[in-house]
Amino acid sequence: MRLLVCKIAFVLLLCGVPFAGANAQRIAAANDGLTLALADKHVDITTNFSGRNVVVFGVNETGGALVVTLTGPAAYTLMRKKGQALGIWVNAKTYGFKDVPLYYDYALNGDERDLGSMDLLRADGIGVNAMQYVVRGRVPSAQARPFHEALIRQKQQAKHYAYDAQSIELIGGKLFKVNFELPADVPTGEYVVKAMVYDGNVKIAERREYLQIRQAGFSARLYSYATNHSFFYGVGVVIFAVFMGYAANVILARR
Amino acid sequence: MHVYLPIAEISISVEAILCLGLCVGFLSGFFGVGGGFLTTPFLMFMGVPPAIAVGTQTSQLVASSVTGVLGHWKNKNVDVKIALVMLAGGLVGSVFGVFIFKILQALGQIDVAIRILYVVLLGSIGSLMLFETSMSLWGRRGGAADAQKADKVSMVEKMRANIREWPYKIRFPESKLYISAFVPVGIGFIGGVLASILGIGGGFLLVPAMIYFMGMPATLVAGTCLFQIIFTTGFASIMHAVTNQTVDVVLASLLILGGVVGAQIGVRASRNVSGVWARIILAAIILLVSIVLAVQLLMPPKELFSMEVR
């Protein structure tokens, strides 16, 4: 009996190896056919920052369907639900979600959006509706569901999550371009831009680039000083306030 | 025009903040109050997180108190000794307040707690002020009001006599007082707690307390209170910067700038309005703010969920 199982396993292995090898080769070849580039490697947030466009370029020679995503850094996010206590609306119930992207936007090829391949994308976690978070603690998913939905709704209202996929602009068939619009209050951190190519039901190629969104100049120096030397920052602010108050009095008295 | 607030990490309209500073400055010039009780709720309304609103507001209060106190200082209307004793209580109160603030933040109830405290404080102070000033305006001729007033005076006298019995007495030559240190320390403590939890100087509460409980001469009260508020709010500001990192210097500068201009206009406008009417208007504004906040607490909210990123 044991011998039989071994034989079957061996045959299966023999059959499987060439398939797996072919798939790997195909992916390697497809990966060569996909290139991705960012117009800028970083976005600097200065004091007058009011949002920016991030332009992603690339070449897709594989012939497969293309998906481009822009994902912000992940953070532990709490969702609270208000409830009535003694007639007052207080925060009653809280669920914590692990590793929630602070920002999410994505783009699909115009044709793909009509092709009904959304199920596949959903399975791969692409698109806002496909996002799955881990809830902290043992909570039945049915209970956490409304909190999860509220999280996505609020992120969308804040323009931190896309409502819908953007279209990928195709230039001459193989060259593609995506324009992601960042709002004024875009969260800072390391963003990942991913380009993926699907053929049939398989992901055949993936490329990623990193985008730094950070405060720069005066604003950045203030932020780092306030976090690294918080005591001196606090004292500085108070001295500044005393000076401003004194100056105001001098100006007032002169008039 | 929008400006990016480096600590709050949000972009906000410069005009709106300047306008808020202007209005609050106008009130402080017009009525001689700090106006912090309006800044915090309005900043929250404009989308500034409550923690940033409170933390930043404390540093704005430093500036407006300095401006206010200098005039009193020139006229020698500051009792430094009482202010220092109050400050002892104020510093302990600030530490206590920041601690409570942190606990409430961890529990996720900070916005609710701030609202409830505002409703209770502003509601009671506003109605008391409105009642008292309207009594003095319309009840002047009535004998009943006189009897009521006499009643009240005797009550205050009884309370003060009671307070005079408290131990650890200190002499305050400037105010010609010989009272227990507990009174100014206690009043300072409450001021410190209010400054760090609500981001207000608490002048509207401290001034009557200093008059009623301590029996301080009215000419010295405002200057002494402001002098003490500079240090309490300055300390609360540093505490918030260190423990919560919630003091945004860009936001504070805009508020201070608007406040300076507003205070000038307010002082000029106040010359054309009688004191009683000014007090009635102030009481009405305070009551209005507390009613709006109370409605927000009692009405079912449009959005049941709120998000916090850690």
* Interval B71-117: pLDDT, tens: 778 877 788 888 888 899 999 998 998 888 888 888 878 778 888 88
Residue A44: exposure state from Cβ atoms within 10 A (0-12, 13-18, ≥19): middle
pLDDT in tens, B227-268: 888 888 899 899 889 888 889 989 999 998 888 888 778 777
CA distance B60 to chain A (A): 7
* Residue of chain A nearest B116, judged by CA positions: A88
SS3 per-residue string spanning B26-86: HHHHHHCCCCHHHHHHHHHHCCCCHHHHHHHHHHHHHHHHHHHHHHHHHCCCCCHHHHHHH
Which top CATH class is A33-215? mainly beta
As beta bridge partners, residue A169 has A177
| Interfacial A residues in 68-107 facing B (CB < 8 Å) | 75-82, 87-91, 94, 100, 102
The pLDDT value recorded for residue A7 is 52
The angle, 0 to 180 degrees and rounded to 10, between the axes of the packed helices B14-31 and B50-74 is 40
A25-51 average pLDDT score: 77
A27-34: average pLDDT? 69
Query: Any idea what the Cα angle at residue A77 is, between residues B246 and B296, rounded to 5°?
Result: 65
pLDDT in tens, A94-126: 888 888 888 988 888 765 554 455 666 666 777
pLDDT of residue A224: 84
Whether chain B has a CB inside 8 Å of the CB on A227: the answer is: yes
Percent of chain B with pLDDT over 90: 5
ipTM score of complex? 0.81
Confidence (pLDDT) at A240: 92
Tallying the residues shown for chain A, one arrives at: 255
List beta partners, residue A77.
A97, B309
CA B125 to chain CA centroid, Å, is 11
Of A151, A155, A249, which has the smallest distance from its Cβ to B70's Cβ?
A249
Phi and psi, residue B196, nearest 5°: -85, -25
Chain A CB contacts of B247 below 8 Å: 226, 233-234, 237
Please tell me the distance in Å from A173's CA to the nearest CA on chain B.
39
Is A196 a residue whose pLDDT tops 80? yes
* Strand ranges for A183-232 from DSSP E: 189-199, 202-215
CA angle, B278 as apex, B277 and B281 as ends, to 5°? 85
State yes or no: pLDDT of B193 exceeds 80.
Answer: yes
pLDDT band at A233 (very low <50, low <70, confident <90, very high): very high
pLDDT score, position B213: 77
**DSSP character for B299?**
S
Half-sphere exposure of B302 (CA within 13 A, CB side): 1
pTM for this structure?
Answer: 0.74
Domain boundaries, chain A: 33-215, 217-255
Count Cβ atoms below 10 Å from residue B111 Cβ, excluding itself.
Answer: 19
- Comparing A99-103, A135-139, A220-224, B37-41, the range with the smallest average pLDDT is A135-139
A150–chain B Cβ distance below 8 A for any pair? yes
CA–CA dist A104, A106 (Å, integer) = 7
Chain A residues with CB under 8 Å of B47 CB are: none
Lowest mean pLDDT across B10-19, B32-41, B116-125, B142-151: B142-151
Best to test chain B binding among A249, A250, A251, A254 (most B CBs inside 10 Å): A249
Q: Which of A48, A185, A226 sits opposite B245 (nearest CB)?
A: A226
- In tens, the pLDDT along A66-83 reads 888 888 898 888 888 888
Whether residue A239 has pLDDT greater than 90: yes
* CB B201 within 8 Å of CB B34: yes
**Residues A36, A208 contacting (CB under 8 angstroms):** yes
Whether A150 sits inside 8 A of B2 (CB atoms) is: no
Flag whether pLDDT at A39 surpasses 90.
no
Dist CA A64 CA A127 (whole Å): 18
Nearest to A80 among B64, B260, B308 (CB): B308
Enumerate the residues of chain B whose CB falls inside 8 A of the CB of residue A51. Answer: 11
For residue A227, pLDDT beyond 80: yes
CA nearest neighbour of B55 among B241, B235, B219: B241
